[in-house]
Amino acid sequence: MAKIVVLTGAGISAESGIRTFRASDGLWEDHRIEDVATPEGWLRNPILVHRFYNMRRKAAAEATPNPAHLALAALEGDPRHEVLIVTQNVDDLHERAGSQRVIHMHGTLTGALCHACGFRWPAPPEMHHTDACPACGAHTTRPDIVWFGEMPYRMEEIWSALRAADLFVSIGTSGNVYPAAGFVQDASRAGAETLELNLDPSTGSDWFDEARHGPASELVPQWVREICS
């Protein structure tokens, strides 16, 4: 059975209507990344940060999986392939498409985390800076999202899957944020074939054995059809 590790980024959810990050003006939904995606930004202005993630949580809940998410779920159902999705996305569109083996290395919008005691629980549709942690009672609740300067989740598990992979496929990511941007080299060094499926060449596009460029909703179903035929 071929072992496939699929890395996904914002580009796979773009056609579901969820905006990607790296707009040319360097802003993210009109906010500076330092203000809304760092622990320092949250400590400075938790009201703004909760408002920002409440809006993103609502947008994600209203979005639906597109043909790229659905094709990956179908691939997982094929008995000839063992598929692990490692996503940088905080939406749950892979799960809603039917994928079961998904690692959210940058956390999820559906999770809440206590910054004081580390307790985790399902996030309500709207979080507020006045919410108390159900475990310790502190008013230090935050979205369970990995911000810049923080360690992504489940890295040991991810590296071990990359070392064992026969094929590594990167979908819809600009290749700007490490450690995910380095996965292609990790997998390649360990002997995997590597494939990029992205709208345009990513920063590390040359590191892939093969790169195909176009919208994920077309490229991903086409690739899945090829390897399942």
Catalytic (active-site) positions: 106
Least distance to ligand APR from the beta carbon of 43, Å? 18
Residue environment code for 66-76, b if the CB has 16+ CB neighbours within 10 A, otherwise e = bbbbbbbbbbb
Helices and strands, counts by H and E, the chain: 9, 9
Q: Which is nearer to ligand APR, 54 or 174 (CB)?
A: 174
User: What phi and psi, each to the nearest 5 degrees, are found at residue 12?
Assistant: -75, -25
Kindly state the DSSP code that residue 74 receives in the 8-state scheme.
Answer: H
Query: Residues 43 to 102: which contact ligand APR by CB under 6 A?
Result: 88
Least distance to ligand APR from the beta carbon of 104, Å? 10
Query: Residues 119 to 178: which contact ligand APR by CB under 6 A?
Result: 172-174, 176-177
β-bridge mates for residue 111, sequence order? 122
Least distance to ligand APR from the beta carbon of 118, Å? 20
Stretch of residues binding ligand APR (CB under 6 A), selected from 13-21, 39-47, 51-59, 127-135: 13-21
- How far is 196 from 90, CA to CA, in rounded Å? 21
* Site for ligand APR, rule CB under 6 A: 9-11, 14-15, 20-22, 88, 106, 172-174, 176-177, 198-200, 202, 215-216
